Amino acid sequence: MRYYVLDRGDPLSVELTQQFHKLAEQRGFVLDAESPEIVVSIGGDGTMLHAFHTFIDRIPDLAFVGVHTGHLGFYADWKADELNELIDHMSGARKTGSVEPRLVKYPLVQLEIHKKSGTSSYIALNEFTLKGVDGTVVAQIDINDVTFEMFRGDGICVSTPSGSTAYNKSVGGAMVHPSIDALQIAEIASINNRIFRTLGSPLLLPKHHHCDIFSRKEQRLLLTIDHINISIDDLISVRCQVAEQQVSFARYRPFPFWNRVRDAFLG
Confidence of residue 232 (pLDDT cuts 50, 70, 90): very high
Report the alpha-carbon distance of residue 83 to residue 38 in Å, rounded. Answer: 15
Averaged pLDDT, 28-42: 96
Report the alpha-carbon distance of residue 99 to residue 83 in Å, rounded. Answer: 16
User: What domains sit in the chain, N to C, each tagged with a CATH number?
Assistant: 2-101+252-266 (3.40.50.10330), 107-245 (2.60.200.30)
Averaged pLDDT, 231-245: 97
Query: pLDDT for 208-228, tens place per residue?
Result: 999 999 999 999 999 999 999
Confidence of residue 97 (pLDDT cuts 50, 70, 90): very low
Closest CA to 47 of 93, 108, 5: 5
Identify the pLDDT of residue 152.
Answer: 97
Report the alpha-carbon distance of residue 111 to residue 241 in Å, rounded. Answer: 7
Confidence of residue 70 (pLDDT cuts 50, 70, 90): confident
- Say if strands 38-43 and 2-7 run parallel, antiparallel, or are unpaired: parallel
Averaged pLDDT, 247-253: 94
Dihedrals phi, psi of 164, to nearest 5 degrees: -70, -15
- Binding-site residues for NAD(+), please? 45-46, 50, 126-127, 152, 154, 165-170, 189
- The share of the chain scoring above pLDDT 70, in percent, equals 97
In the predicted model, is pLDDT for residue 72 greater than 90? no
Averaged pLDDT, 124-151: 97
Which entry of 7, 10, 45, 88 is annotated as an active-site residue?
45
State the DSSP string of 66-118: EEE-SS--TT--EEGGGHHHHHHHHHT-STT--SSPEEEEE--EEEEEEETTE
Q: Residues 240, 242, 245, 247: what is their CA dihedral angle, to the nearest 10 degrees?
A: 100
In the predicted model, is pLDDT for residue 184 greater than 80? yes
Residue bearing the bigger pLDDT, 139 or 97: 139
In the predicted model, is pLDDT for residue 96 greater than 70? no
Identify the pLDDT of residue 95.
Answer: 54
Averaged pLDDT, 9-35: 96
Residue 246 contacts residue 108 (beta carbons within 8 Å): yes
Report the alpha-carbon distance of residue 73 to residue 138 in Å, rounded. Answer: 34
- Say if strands 221-225 and 127-132 run parallel, antiparallel, or are unpaired: antiparallel
Identify the pLDDT of residue 263.
Answer: 86
Active site residue 77: no
Residue 103 contacts residue 116 (beta carbons within 8 Å): no
Report the alpha-carbon distance of residue 209 to residue 241 in Å, rounded. Answer: 7
Confidence of residue 101 (pLDDT cuts 50, 70, 90): confident
Closest CA to 36 of 67, 76, 5: 5
User: Mean pLDDT in the chain?
Assistant: 94
Averaged pLDDT, 177-184: 97
Q: Is 140 exposed, middle or buried (0-12, 13-18, 19+ CB in 10 A)?
A: middle
- The share of the chain scoring above pLDDT 90, in percent, equals 88
Q: Is 90 exposed, middle or buried (0-12, 13-18, 19+ CB in 10 A)?
A: buried
Identify the pLDDT of residue 93.
Answer: 60
